[in-house]
């Protein structure tokens, strides 16, 4: 186990990509603190982490709530003393065309996809600076650079574009403290979110992926593991597409 004794905080661990990230890191010996608003599913993730022999600390947290995040992060530090890895995964997609985007929807997309990353980093970064080490991994989308289309439209693409800009800027600021900040930009992955795709949407998706298959969340989780390993210590400010060639 290559990360035995390390501590990771991951958001959105109740299902989908975040769930797989938590299990992948746990299989490497990493203890996992998971934040999500879906308490029942979060409890199931906790059981799976503990079955792998790792500690699990699961908290029901709305990552859009700045104060709630500050309190929850402090709970993790009180329990474990440190956080080695922060994975800002929580987010939400958008299907509405621009003409149907309300001010409320716009604000929500920015809050859940971008402001949540700010909230987590505000709570964790000062501790990482003090310990002069840490890995931060953010999750954007190839929608940020290709335009939304099938991946989430204007508000979502704008928010994820903000995540990329935030990641690069934070990487620059934190590099002197030996803290790396990297981003993964997924394409379309086989998560519960895809269950609502129509036949037409499914065909459009496949027509745009050169590898002609959806991404496997377990593969993306291994990329998260890579960014946490000692071998990636000299990589920072990177945006890595994981999309089966979708962004070519």
Per-residue pLDDT reduced to its tens digit, 55-76: 999 999 999 999 999 999 999 9
CB neighbourhood size of 79 (10 A): 12
pTM: 0.93
The residue among 200, 226, 182, 205 whose CA lies nearest residue 88 is: 182
Res 196: pLDDT: 67
**What pLDDT sits at residue 19?**
95
Tens digits of residue pLDDT in 13-55: 999 899 999 999 999 999 999 999 999 999 999 999 999 999 9
Q: What residues are labeled active site?
A: 156
Q: Is pLDDT of 178 > 60?
A: yes
Tell me if residue 79 falls in helix, strand or coil.
helix
Stretch 100-119: mean pLDDT: 97
User: Which one, of 94, 64, 241, lies nearest residue 154 by Cα?
Assistant: 94
For the sheet with 179-186, list strands across it: 56-60, 31-36, 7-11, 85-88, 134-139, 179-186, 239-242
- Domains of the chain and CATH, by start: 7-241 (3.40.50.720)
């Amino acid at each position: 186990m290559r990360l035995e004794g390390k501590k990771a905080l991951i958001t959105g661990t109740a299902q989908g990509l975040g769930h797989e990230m938590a299990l992948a890191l746990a299989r490497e010996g990493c203890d996992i603190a998971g934040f999500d608003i879906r308490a029942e599913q979060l409890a199931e993730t906790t059981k799976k982490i503990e079955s792998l022999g790792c500690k699990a600390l699961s908290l029901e947290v709305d990552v859009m709530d700045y104060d709630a995040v500050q309190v929850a992060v402090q709970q993790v530090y009180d329990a474990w003393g440190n956080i080695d890895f922060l994975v800002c995964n929580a987010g939400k997609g958008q299907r509405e065309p621009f003409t149907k985007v309300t001010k409320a929807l716009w604000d929500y997309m920015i809050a859940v996809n971008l402001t949540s990353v700010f909230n987590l980093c505000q709570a964790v970064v000062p501790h990482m600076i003090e310990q002069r080490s840490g890995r931060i991994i953010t999750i954007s989308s190839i929608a940020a650079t290709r335009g939304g289309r099938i991946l989430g439209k204007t508000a979502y693409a704008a928010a994820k574009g903000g995540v990329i800009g935030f990641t690069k800027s934070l990487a620059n600021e934190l590099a002197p403290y030996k803290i790396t900040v990297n981003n993964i930009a997924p394409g379309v992955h086989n998560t519960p979110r895809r269950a609502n795709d129509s036949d037409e949407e499914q065909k459009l998706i496949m027509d745009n992926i050169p590898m002609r298959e959806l991404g496997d969340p377990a593969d993306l989780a291994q990329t998260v593991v890579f960014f946490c390993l000692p071998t990636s210590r000299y990589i920072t400010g990177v945006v890595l597409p994981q999309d089966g060639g979708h962004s070519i």
